[in-house]
Amino acid sequence: MASAVSALGWGVALILLPLTGAVLAFVLRPLATRVGVGTALATTLATGGLALALVETGSGRYPIGGWEAPLGIALAADGLSLLMLAMTAAVGLAVSLYVPGYFRDKPRASADFWPLWLFLWAGLNGLYLSADLFNLYVTLELIGLAAVALAALAGSADALAGAMRYLLVSLVGSLFYLLGVALLYHAYGSLDIAILAEQVAASPPVWAALGLITAGLLLKTALFPLHFWLPPAHASAAAPVSALLSALVVKGSFYLLLRLWLTLFGAEAGGLGTLLGLLGAGAVLWGSLQALRQTRLKLLIAYSTVAQLGYLFLAFPLATGLAWGAAVYLALAHALAKAAMFLAAGNILMFGGHDRIADLDRVAQRLPLSVAAFALAGVSIMGLPPSGGFVGKWLLLQEAIAQGAWGWAAVLVLGGLLAAAYVFRVIGYAFTQAEVPQEPHAVPATLGWIAFLLALGAVLLGLVAPQPLALLGIGAPLGEIGTAP
């Protein structure tokens, strides 16, 4: 037990480090970039430390201040939270290294970016480590407020309106969640997930809480048809912010839904899992079709996020260990690939001054690394082997066929074809000459490399599939179900 507590010492560091960094970056504005990059490196190292400790000791629980639940508030970490933390660290570090180059002519935007991003990182880490329903509400709000402020940073009328809509949606989602938590607390007198998991039984308050919490989190995860706020907010933000929002922020609320579903609601949900699957299928088809229709690159990528989020919900009707593992794997692969796509789009935007797909003007020859990053990320988004996206979809497909659920299998295949159509549409225009020649601007080589390495990570994730799936088996809730294919 003592070693499990020391493992979670890394968890405490994972929350305190970015929080301290955020305050320092806010106070020491001229040094914000240095503070920010330093904090990003330290937080990534701490994530590694937690990973090593957890592999050694298994899942851990840390009572803050020595007070155990139900009186105190505990932190907890298992394989599922570890993978989400690692995803946050990988994308977070890449974006943190990308930002100094991207904002090199905009010191004000850069100084505004760092405190918000580090607050967001602290909120995400807090979310993945919390074992208390109300603590989770607070981290959800921290994430929402920081994400909205980041989205508004771009300052254009579109970005401000997008951020405003995002804020209202995020707040309403949180209140739905809070109302559900209030009902659960009334029924069982505890907010600790582990304690609740032992007591929850099918009863009207639990059904109401299930409905309210699921609705709130679906709104925040932008599942079709509640996705209306996502494309404008994600597409009009600055490129590194878009990458953070699409890769990490929506995954936070998805993770929470997944965890509550696995620990509290799974047995009580009944037909709701099928409904989530149907909405997920709707998201895959509608998001992909909308992505095909877009004329702006960043909007295309944002609609692609709507579609890719849909896949994650196909696991809910299948509801086996393998399906849950596949959904988590898809979330990881999507985080890397989508961050790479948005960063590549940022480079293209910086290069040509616009992101109109039809006027990309031979950008493949002139910005080869960024277009390669986009194409490689596209491989994972389409789900071609050997990428991480392929492994996730393959496991889902295998499970759907094993259960004879041909409808879900058809959605998986059709979604992949549509994704191929919109990725190749962009790549096609990247090779052709535009009618109006444009004045290009220099893009630092590091920006291209960072996008490329992220995309490469998304593809290589497919080759190391057994390791992350084994990590998922650390501790409850997925450890008991078994995720090994």
Partner 1 sequence: MTAALWYALAGVGLFALGLYAMAVHRHLLRKILAFNVMGAGAFLVLAGLARRAPEGSADPVPHALVITGIVVTVAATALALVLMLRVREATGAAALPEDRPD
Residues that bind partner 1 (CB under 8 A): 134, 137-138, 141, 144-145, 148-149, 152, 156-157, 160-161, 163-165, 167-168, 171-172, 175, 178-179, 182-183, 185-186, 189, 191
List Cα–Cα distances, 351 to 97, 311, 346, 442, in angstroms: 19, 33, 8, 6
Minimum Å gap between C-beta 148 and partner 1 is 7
Minimum Å gap between C-beta 302 and partner 1 is 16
Q: Tell me if 261 sits within 8 A of 477, measured CB to CB.
A: no
Q: Tell me if 303 sits within 8 A of 266, measured CB to CB.
A: no
Comparing CB distances to partner 1, the nearer of 140 and 300 is 140
- Give the count of alpha carbons within 13 A of 102, CB side only: 31
DSSP 8-state class, residue 31: G
What are 103's two structure tokens? 């904002």
Comparing CB distances to partner 1, the nearer of 108 and 441 is 108
Minimum Å gap between C-beta 271 and partner 1 is 24
Minimum Å gap between C-beta 229 and partner 1 is 10
Minimum Å gap between C-beta 290 and partner 1 is 16
Minimum Å gap between C-beta 297 and partner 1 is 21
Task: Please report, for the chain, how many H helices and E strands are present, in that order.
Answer: 22, 2
* Count of other CB atoms within 10 angstroms of residue 437: 10
Residue burial 264-273, b: 16+ Cβ < 10 Å; e: rest: bbbebbeebb
List Cα–Cα distances, 470 to 45, 249, 355, in angstroms: 21, 25, 40
Minimum Å gap between C-beta 319 and partner 1 is 30
Minimum Å gap between C-beta 174 and partner 1 is 8
Q: How far apart are CA 80 and CA 69, in angstroms?
A: 21
The 3-state DSSP class for residue 294 equals coil
What are 369's two structure tokens? 């690394």
Comparing CB distances to partner 1, the nearer of 53 and 219 is 219
The single-letter code of the amino acid at 74 is A
Comparing CB distances to partner 1, the nearer of 232 and 383 is 232
Minimum Å gap between C-beta 429 and partner 1 is 27
Comparing CB distances to partner 1, the nearer of 86 and 140 is 140
Comparing CB distances to partner 1, the nearer of 153 and 344 is 153
Place of tokens 């960063």: 343
Minimum Å gap between C-beta 164 and partner 1 is 5
H/E stretch holding 117: helix 107-129
Angle at 243 between CA 233 and CA 318, to 5 degrees: 90
Comparing CB distances to partner 1, the nearer of 185 and 286 is 185
Q: How far apart are CA 440 and CA 208, in angstroms?
A: 56
Comparing CB distances to partner 1, the nearer of 212 and 337 is 212
Comparing CB distances to partner 1, the nearer of 31 and 179 is 179
Helical packing angle, 368-382 and 445-460, nearest 10°: 20
Q: Tell me if 272 sits within 8 A of 210, measured CB to CB.
A: yes
Comparing CB distances to partner 1, the nearer of 152 and 241 is 152
φ/ψ (deg, to 5) at 341: -60, -45
Comparing CB distances to partner 1, the nearer of 256 and 315 is 256
Roughly how many angstroms between the first and final C-alpha of the chain, as a whole number?
A: 31
Q: How far apart are CA 263 and CA 261, in angstroms?
A: 6
Minimum Å gap between C-beta 183 and partner 1 is 8
Could you write out the three-class secondary structure of 333-354? HHHHHHHHHHHHHHHHHHHHCC
Place of tokens 């496991």: 395
Comparing CB distances to partner 1, the nearer of 85 and 146 is 146
Residues 6+ apart with CB under 8 A from 456: 376
Q: What is the CA radius of gyration of the chain?
A: 21
Minimum Å gap between C-beta 109 and partner 1 is 15
